């Protein structure tokens, strides 16, 4: 397994939204960043949209600034080969109601043999990764 950490939308939201129930955990995680970390352009798009539509343009810009400040964060692209792998993943996990973004993240986690995911989505543990600070306990 790789020492790379993958970041999902939920951890960015928890970090920037002080009222989020996992804000303290997110602040703790970001205070000691891993040596290698990544996210995807699809996660960035999803998160930017979340902030824009739920908290406004200033919050979305704050998220963009955060991304720019995260030293050595690799933002993974999503070309045609990746899209095909995502469609295959969605077929393989039919019935779980995964979003395209979550399936994309699962493909990246498997491809890169990522053992730790900073997230709040329990689906991101499907490939065997540990989800930190932990999945939301509610229904999927």
pLDDT of residue 79: 94
Structure tokens at 84: 């095909």
Spatial contact of 34 and 2, defined as CB atoms under 8 Å apart: no
Specify the DSSP class assigned to residue 114.
E
Tell me the domains of the chain and their CATH numbers.
2-133 (3.40.50.1010)
Residue 134 three-state SS: coil
Give the containing element (helix H, strand E) for 115.
Answer: strand 114-119
* pLDDT value of position 137: 52
Q: Sheet holding 130-133: strands in order across?
A: 73-76, 37-40, 2-7, 114-119, 130-133
Per residue of the chain (140 residues), what is the pLDDT tens digit?
889 999 999 999 999 999 999 999 999 999 999 999 999 999 999 999 999 999 999 999 999 999 999 999 999 999 999 999 999 999 999 999 899 999 999 999 999 999 999 999 888 999 899 999 976 554 44
Global confidence as pTM: 0.92
């Amino acid at each position: 397994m790789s020492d790379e950490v993958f970041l999902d939308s939920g951890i960015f939201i928890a970090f920037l939204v002080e009222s989020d129930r996992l804000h303290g955990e997110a602040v703790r995680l970001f205070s000691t960043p891993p040596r290698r970390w990544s996210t995807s352009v699809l996660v960035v798009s999803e998160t930017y949209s979340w902030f824009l539509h739920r908290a406004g343009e200033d919050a979305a810009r704050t998220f963009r600034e955060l991304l720019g400040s995260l030293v050595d964060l690799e933002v993974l692209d999503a070309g045609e080969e990746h899209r095909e792998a995502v469609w295959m993943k969605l077929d393989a996990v039919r019935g779980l109601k995964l979003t395209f973004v979550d399936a994309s993240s699962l493909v990246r986690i498997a491809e890169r043999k990522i053992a730790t995911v900073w997230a709040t989505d329990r689906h991101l543990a499907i490939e065997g990764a540990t989800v930190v600070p932990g999945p939301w306990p509610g229904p999927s």
